[in-house]
Amino acid sequence: MKNMDVRILIAEDSPTQAERLRFLLEEQKYSVEVARNGKEGLELARESKPALIISDVLMPDVDGYEFCRNAKADEQLKEIPFILLTSLSDTNDVIRGLQCGADNFITKPY
């Protein structure tokens, strides 16, 4: 499978951060879709199942933890790898991320 056939969903409320991550992934020839929060991310994921979800933790409406919990509870989405991305680095934040079902936790700057 070529990278361009792999669709990655990013949920990030900061337009600057979203575009930076989009650029890095598109540079590697991945197809990228961006949601502004976890609620929009969940809707987009259900519409067209991505190969990977990368979500910021701190977002308005539905944060990354809740987005991850909802995705992992959804039969259609639960197998999709989910990476939480955040500037938080406290051990409890990492543990909370893993408890909600995240497959990995990456701290900013990445």
Instruction: Report the alpha-carbon distance of residue 10 to residue 75 in Å, rounded.
Output: 20
Residue 1 has pLDDT above 60, yes or no: no
Domain locations in the chain?
Answer: 3-107
Domain 3-107 part of CATH 3.40.50.2300: yes
Residue 19 has pLDDT above 90, yes or no: yes
pTM value > 0.95: no
Residue 67: partners with Cβ closer than 8 Å, 6 or more residues away: 11, 37, 38, 39, 41, 42, 53, 55, 59
What average pLDDT is seen over the chain?
91
The per-residue pLDDT for range 45-62, each reduced to its tens digit, is: 999 999 999 999 999 999
Residue 2 pLDDT class (50, 70, 90 cuts): low
